[in-house]
Amino acid sequence: MATTNQYGSGFSLPELMVPTQAATIFAAQENSLYLPGVLIPTVNVPAGSDSVKVAKLDAVAAQSITTEADPGVDLTVLKPGAAAVNLDLELIAARTTLRDIGGVNAADMGRVMGNAIAAKVDTMVSTAMASLTVDEFDLATILDQFYRSVGMIREAGDNGALTCVVSAAAYHEFMGAVAGSAFAGSETQNAAMKSGFIGTIAGVPCYTSSYLNDTNTGLTATKFAVFSQDAMRLATQGGVRLEAERRAAAVGQDIVASTAFQVGVIDATRGVIVQNAV
């Protein structure tokens, strides 16, 4: 029975929990595109509540004041959108059992649990992206389609920073376009060929997701999604957690990783998801 410093067991719970928890949280944050809250802003749901309402903030026009109006009506007031989006948290969890007999590397187990949480979160986000504005791939190249998607968001009035997430199935098309004559000898091409990352195109950082696929979106030959930070919101409470409980029937410890999470589209006009023409 392994009870060394390298391996944790059901008989050494403190030794088990520290490396397992660290590896779980690290893997969940590192392997999810969205959990860190960089690509899509995160709303923290306060304790005691299981939902949050996110207001759609409409654009407001700046005005030139030329004459004195009635008191209090000089400027049009910026108000939240009339239809707030309600995000109801879902509790997502992954469980494994560490038996007393035999040694298991706690860090490896935590990494697997963290990957499970990351996969579920990214799957939920990919499913939500299908509610963005859907465009069909009918132009000559994937770059042409990408530029049109960016233009559609700009035409809708959003001039902020954008992000692109490319499906794994369309990754070769994007990389092939970057490797072509359009980017010949450019810094973008050199960096992409060296690192394998698509990089930044037209000022838009591009990422690849294994979970942006037809199964999760319900679309046909899903290519990519381009969106601004006002298109979607994540809702979380408490971050990624790990806990252990003695399970006598299994002669070991139940290890459960969990997080309270939800995602929703706030303004579909600020994002475009592209599928093959159907």
Residues whose CB is less than 8 angstroms from the CB of residue 185 and which lie 6 or more positions away in sequence, other chains included: none
Rounded to 5°, the CA angle 106-35-176 comes to: 100
Domain coverage including residue 36: 13-53+81-276
Confidence of residue 77 (pLDDT cuts 50, 70, 90): low
Is residue 193 over pLDDT 90? no
Confidence of residue 47 (pLDDT cuts 50, 70, 90): confident
Query: Would 242 be classed as within a structural domain?
Result: yes
Is residue 60 over pLDDT 80? no
**Range in 61-70, 78-87, 242-251 with the lowest mean pLDDT:** 61-70
Share of the chain above pLDDT 90, in %: 44
Amino acid at 58: D
Is residue 205 over pLDDT 60? yes
Average pLDDT rounded to a whole number, residues 30-37: 92
**pLDDT recorded at residue 8:** 46
**pLDDT recorded at residue 5:** 45
Query: Would 69 be classed as within a structural domain?
Result: no
Is residue 166 over pLDDT 60? yes
Q: Do 163 and 227 form a contact (C-beta atoms < 8 A)?
A: yes
Is residue 276 over pLDDT 70? yes
Query: Would 72 be classed as within a structural domain?
Result: no
**pLDDT recorded at residue 70:** 60
**pLDDT recorded at residue 188:** 61
Is residue 192 over pLDDT 80? no
Is residue 37 over pLDDT 70? yes
Query: Would 70 be classed as within a structural domain?
Result: no
Query: Would 226 be classed as within a structural domain?
Result: yes
Q: Do 126 and 27 form a contact (C-beta atoms < 8 A)?
A: no
The CATH number of whichever domain residue 253 belongs to comes to 3.90.1690.10
**Range in 72-81, 195-204, 254-263 with the lowest mean pLDDT:** 72-81
Is residue 196 over pLDDT 60? no
**pLDDT recorded at residue 217:** 96
**pLDDT recorded at residue 48:** 86
Is residue 123 over pLDDT 70? yes
What pTM value is reported for the model?
Answer: 0.84
Average pLDDT rounded to a whole number, residues 53-75: 69
How many structural domains is the chain composed of? 1
Query: Would 227 be classed as within a structural domain?
Result: yes
**pLDDT recorded at residue 62:** 73
**pLDDT recorded at residue 255:** 84
Average pLDDT rounded to a whole number, residues 100-122: 83
Query: Would 185 be classed as within a structural domain?
Result: yes
Mean pLDDT of the chain: 83
Query: Would 58 be classed as within a structural domain?
Result: no
